[in-house]
Amino acid sequence: MRASTQTAGSLALLVLVLSSSILASYPPISCCFKYSKKKIPRNLVIDFYETNGQCSQPAVVFITRKKLQMCTNPSEQWVQDYMKYLKANRTVNATATY
């Protein structure tokens, strides 16, 4: 009886450790609930990311020089243009470092 209690305790501890490490490897989902109404000047934007598909609405989040994150509508033409521009610059910068 004592051995099975120790085994059950060890198993419970193992499950706890594994589940906490799995949860730590998946960061919380960042979603946008409304879009910025103003067009952001392109010279202020340094990077972007697209929100997760689990969010209620799609969004592109632009990161500014001051590290502000601005939610934008991915169907707007200026947003698509900025994404294209930033992707092209990522490629140039990545190849220039080698």
Domain ranges of the chain: 28-96
Whether residue 67 contacts residue 61, with contact meaning beta carbons closer than 8 Å, is answered with: no
The tens digit of pLDDT for each residue in 5-52 reads 565 555 444 444 444 444 444 555 789 999 999 999 999 999 999 999
pLDDT of the residue at 21: 45
Predicted confidence (pLDDT) at residue 96 exceeds the cutoff of 90 = no
Predicted confidence (pLDDT) at residue 72 exceeds the cutoff of 70 = yes
The tens digit of pLDDT for each residue in 40-69 reads 999 999 999 999 989 999 999 999 999 999
- Conformation bin of residue 51: beta by default, left when phi > 0, alpha when psi is -120 to 50: beta
Q: Please, what is the end-to-end C-alpha distance for the chain in angstroms? A: 63
pLDDT category of residue 91 using cuts at 50, 70 and 90: confident
Measured in degrees and rounded to the nearest 5, phi and psi for residue 93 equal -65, -35
Indicate the SS3 state at residue 71.
Answer: strand
Looking at the DSSP bridge assignments, the partners of residue 72 are 60
Domain covering 28-96 assigned CATH 2.40.50.40 in the classification:
yes
Output b/e per residue, 1-38; b: 16+ Cβ within 10 A. eeeeeeeeeeeeeeeeeeeeeeeeeeeeeeebeebeee
